[in-house]
Amino acid sequence: MDYKEIMAPYQDLPGGIIEAFHAIQKEQSYLTEDAIIAAAELFEIPVKDAYGVATFYSYFSVNSRGRNVIRICESAPCHIAGANEVIAALEKELGIKMGESTPDGKFALEFAECVGQCQATPVITINGKPYGDVNAEKIPAILAEYE
């Protein structure tokens, strides 16, 4: 994969490294060491600074994970609205626990502090697409969209 080619459109933007990392993750779901080094070279910053960006933001991962990243909001409104039941349904349906990826590499489960959709709690996102008013019964149909 040519990381610099993917990141080049963001080179001259303020904060472009963040957009560049999003572009890389869209392609492979996480940031490899090679991608971080390529970003450091492209943005002319020390590797440690590029790594700092990659590890600071919760939406970036430097560890291999499933292609379809499912995040569930763990804020108070989602918790009160039944997030625990949604988590249990996701874990049961996928056969993994929060923080893990499915063996086939299709899905990863992660927590998010807030996804900005408090009007429709509980909320999950899959690859950034929000699903509101989620309950355990809706999980199989939602996941089927990504099979």
pLDDT at 145: 95
pLDDT at 1: 81
pLDDT at 58: 80
Q: Where are the domains of the chain?
A: 3-56, 68-144
pLDDT at 97: 97
pLDDT over 90 (residue 5): yes
The CA distance from 95 to 80, in Å, is 24
pTM strictly above 0.85 = no
pLDDT at 118: 85
Share of the chain above pLDDT 90, in %: 78
pLDDT at 75: 87
Query: In the CATH scheme, what is the homologous superfamily, with its name and number, of domain 68-144?
Result: Glutaredoxin (3.40.30.10)
Measuring CA to CA, which residue among 69, 138, 88, 79 is closest to residue 113?
79
Could you read off the pLDDT of 117-145 as tens digits, one per residue?
A: 888 899 999 998 999 999 999 999 999 99
pLDDT at 74: 84
Could you read off the pLDDT of 109-118 as tens digits, one per residue?
A: 999 888 888 8
pLDDT at 100: 95
What is each CA distance from 71 to 36, 55, 67, 115, 127, in whole angstroms? 23, 17, 12, 9, 8
Tokens coding 127: 């690859």
Could you read off the pLDDT of 18-62 as tens digits, one per residue?
A: 999 999 998 988 999 999 999 999 999 999 999 999 999 888 999
In the chain, how long is the greatest CA-to-CA distance?
49
